[in-house]
Structure 1
Amino acid sequence: MRGSASCGVAGPEERGRPGGEAAQGCRLGVGEPGRVPAPARPVGGHGQSAGQRELEVLRLVAGGATNREVAAGLFITEATVKSHLLNIYGKLEVGDRAAAVTEAFHRGLLVPRVTP
């Protein structure tokens, strides 16, 4: 597992924050302090909302994490990661993880992190 790898994206709740907390938010390291969760927001064509955990999974996937790395970083099973990804695919109306990340950026669910 890439313990110090950061996902390179920040959620909308982190806009305007200089490096610190935004940079810490997506790391895969174990035991790092948690963050205040972002509220669920509509993502699908029928008003479906992405849950907090689904967005956490999506952020890590956007950073290049494997299902195994996501599971270890979030203390969940790989089967749960797969389940979250399938839910995300359905809500974003896409067929794979690359398309999900792209669509999430287009919809503003993931925001590129600006590095100083």
Structure 2
Amino acid sequence: RENYSTWHAGIDWEISRWDFGWARPYVAAGMGFNRFLVMSDGEPSQNRVRNLLEVTFSAEIMAGLRLFNRGEIQYHGSAYGLELSGGLLLNDNSEVALPSYTLELNEVWRPYFKIALTIGTIL
């Protein structure tokens, strides 16, 4: 069983001069880390055996479009929006390996596309 997770913190900049009212472009950058965890079944007396646990550096850049981010769509006191973006991840995964097992997400450069639902509300 392979478990891969990424944690990033970053900043973004909304490009207000290209504001369309219902849509606004933005660019973002972030840094953080990746965590690889590979487990396998052990002997009958053991539950699971950890084969690999690695934490590596990661950074990303992205550009996208925020749709309806000013509360144009509301339902029961919450405002909903949509983000469409694409970016590139730089991962320091060149040393992450496990003999006799092929890791799926250990590329150094990985492009991606994201569709995200945003929800804003008052607690």
TM-score for both structures, normalised by structure 1: 0.26
Larger-gyration structure (1/2): 2
Structure number with higher strand proportion: 2
TM-score for both structures, normalised by structure 2: 0.25
Relative contact order: is structure 1 or structure 2 higher (C-alpha 8 Å, sep ≥ 6)?
1
